[in-house]
Amino acid sequence: MSDSENPTPENDFRLEFHGNAVVICPAANVESMKWDLIEQSADIVMTPLADVDPPMVVFDLSDVTYFGSVFMALLLRCHKHVKSRGGELVLCGASRMALELLRMTALDTLWAIYDTREEALDAIDA
């Protein structure tokens, strides 16, 4: 079985460091993320943040068309962790469908949402 046939949390996220910011790039398949993988996914995403103080995080959703409640729960968990350490979490590159979902759930009021990664990094002063 290839990685694409056997998804694991390690394959679902790419982390990039830009100065004092971490850009988290979820893969397109996060829309089908299962609840039983949320703990592992949260660890993969949040463990590198321990070395960044305060954590400044950009979730780049450019590769994600849509996502469900599991991914939203992961975003909220990361948000809570980042805020508890005095950091900031913003989103960028959201598709039209993702933006609509964020509006319908009022999560667009929780996070600043930018069109591009560059705008998001500028906004958190990375």
The model's pLDDT over 13-69, given as tens digits with 9 standing for 90+, comes to: 899 998 889 999 998 888 777 777 777 888 888 888 887 888 899 999 999 988 888
* Identity of residue 3: D
Architecture of domain 9-123: 2-Layer Sandwich (3.30)
Tell me, what's the pLDDT at 3?
Answer: 41
Question: What's the sign of the alpha-carbon dihedral 3, 32, 18, 120?
Answer: positive
CA 8, CA 88: separation in Å to the nearest integer?
27
Are 65 and 98 a contacting pair, CB within 8 Å? yes
pTM above 0.75, yes or no: yes
